[in-house]
Amino acid sequence: MSSREEADHAGPNAPLLTSTDHHDRDLSPDPADNVDLAPELEYSGGWFIWILTISAGISGLLFGYDTGVISSTLVTIGSDLSNRPLTTLDESLITSCTSLFALVASPFTGVLADKYGRRKVILAADALFALGALAQAFTSQVGGMIFGRSIVGLAVGSASAITPLYISEVAPTQARGRLVTVLSLLITGGQVVAYIVGWLFSEMPGGWRWIVGLGAAPAFLQFAILIFLPETPRWLVQAGSEDRAAKVLTRIYHGCPDRDQGVRRVLRGIRREIEEEAEEMGQSEIPDANMHWFHDTSQRAHDLFYVGGNRRALTIAMMLQGLQQLCGFNSLMYFSGIIFTALSFSSPTLTSLTVAVTNFVFTLFAFGLIDKIGRRRILLYSIPVMILALLACAVVFSSMEISFEPESAQKANPNANSNSPLLVLFCLAVFVASYAFGLGNVPWQQAELFPLNVRSLGSSLATATNWGSNFVVGLTFLPMMRWISPTWTFVIYAGVCAVGWVAVHAIYPEMSGMGLEDVKGLLADGWGVEESLRRRRSMKHI
């Protein structure tokens, strides 16, 4: 038996740790705490973890719906707002205010999630989702629409920072990748639903009010369910409620043959992390989250930027999130209607649906394979396919006469009898499929990179990078298509992906199969790439 197995066999019937245990504890290393060496339990969770994941994941559905709904909304509003057709400025403001406010909300989310808990932040985001949806549905002014979309932006920003973190913190290690990918499935599923709803209501007078207003329904549903669901065990221990954390873990590991062992192992890992943090801060007790809140927040920010391992985690998470957006994927999400109109497809909205559906279907493949293939490998395999697809698109575009000037939509199509539009569609579908398989979901695994004390702050800054880059792409795509040509626009996106591949290869370690509490050691003295690959190889041999 390995030392680690012995540690966890400290007795399956030994009582679970209680909130008072840590006061009697000596901080010197205890062999039973040696979680680094222990094999992870082969347990990927029962029904309870699925309920938690799907309930929290409804935020993803809302995020997808509210970002996917914009293209059909814009084309169906007509003159319903402010008694005039929308100007180009109105359209840009209505589209980009959501990403901008998401960018504003995400950094604060981390601070609030540490103080009030992860669950309360999700509930607050629900209230904002519902308010924003209703404000849009009942407005008669362009300004009201921008207000509603901005409120939705605050909701999307906080939900996208907090939900992956909640799921990572409740998930058993062996299923963490898949469970966080459920969130990506719900985001991309929400985008498909948005496209379908948009298409169904587009002919109805005032149908756009239903399109945007329907976004309130899942928010009410999630609010009702989440009230009954627990806070994450990690946050509970940090807040001094170890008894409650043990209860939640016992439910999570309910069907596991070694349930008590699993619960003890996770609790030990969390406590060890908190104790190390306390030691580093020169304290002898676990910090009380309420009393030391202000001090903790500035300490966390300091730790995030000045502790090497945390800074490395932040660099990786921000790099991945920036890459996810700067590869240009969302230009298809937001402007595929315009692209397919310029390519003279007879039904641009229906053609756009292929983008959303491909995105969803390949996220489904990622869901099935991510824990087997591993996060790093899935990216190293899929990014080159994205590059080839983008370059192929650029080549086809260079052989076409195509214009993205607004007035060109009315002109005769010079490519009417060529196969080029179909070829572009095919290349875009390959690009979307490879994106969905890797970059579309792996960056949302971000929470696992950070140790507990800086997890929510780090995750929210990485999420802010996502929204900042999303905003840049949304703002620059059409001008780039017009001014430097579609060919060069796609070559630039391919270049971003190539740089991203090199960065992933150099600094992103393999996180699959690692406990959340083991990550700190991995990034402590370097990027940990070799070490992580060694661990993964040896895990496969256990």
Ligand X SMILES: O[C@H]1[C@H](O)[C@@H](O)[C@H](O)[C@@H](O)[C@H]1O
Q: Which residues bind ligand X (CB under 6 A)?
A: 67, 184, 187-188, 191, 324, 330, 333, 359, 440-441, 444, 470
Least Å distance, CB 183 to ligand X, is: 8
Nearer to ligand X, 57 or 269 (CB): 57
Nearer to ligand X, 67 or 173 (CB): 67
Nearer to ligand X, 186 or 263 (CB): 186
Least Å distance, CB 148 to ligand X, is: 20
Structure tokens at 281: 């801060």
Least Å distance, CB 362 to ligand X, is: 10
Nearer to ligand X, 158 or 324 (CB): 324
Could you tell me the CA-to-CA distances from 251 to 40, 52, 432 in Å, in that order? 18, 11, 38
| Count of beta carbons in the 10 Å neighbourhood of residue 291 | 10
Least Å distance, CB 106 to ligand X, is: 12
What distance in Å separates the CA atoms of residue 493 and residue 334, rounded to the nearest whole number? Answer: 16
DSSP 410: G
Nearest-CB residue to ligand X? 440
Least Å distance, CB 321 to ligand X, is: 8
Nearer to ligand X, 53 or 359 (CB): 359
Nearer to ligand X, 324 or 532 (CB): 324
Structure tokens at 214: 């329907």
Least Å distance, CB 448 to ligand X, is: 16
Structure tokens at 99: 């990403």
Nearer to ligand X, 55 or 470 (CB): 470
DSSP 10: S
- Given a contact cutoff of 8 angstroms between Cβ atoms, the answer to whether 470 and 325 are in contact is yes
Nearer to ligand X, 186 or 478 (CB): 186
CA end-to-end span of the chain, whole Å?
12
| Count of beta carbons in the 10 Å neighbourhood of residue 396 | 24
Least Å distance, CB 418 to ligand X, is: 30
Tokens 């969803």 belong to residue: 360
CB-side neighbour CA atoms (13 Å) of 111: 12
**Residue type at 43 in one-letter notation:** Y
Structure tokens at 321: 């999130």
Least Å distance, CB 105 to ligand X, is: 15
Nearer to ligand X, 235 or 334 (CB): 334
What distance in Å separates the CA atoms of residue 461 and residue 443, rounded to the nearest whole number? Answer: 13
Least Å distance, CB 356 to ligand X, is: 8
Tokens 């180009």 belong to residue: 88
CB-side neighbour CA atoms (13 Å) of 292: 17
b/e map of 89-115 (b: 16 or more CB within 10 Å)?
ebeebbbbbbbbbbbebbbbbbbbbbb
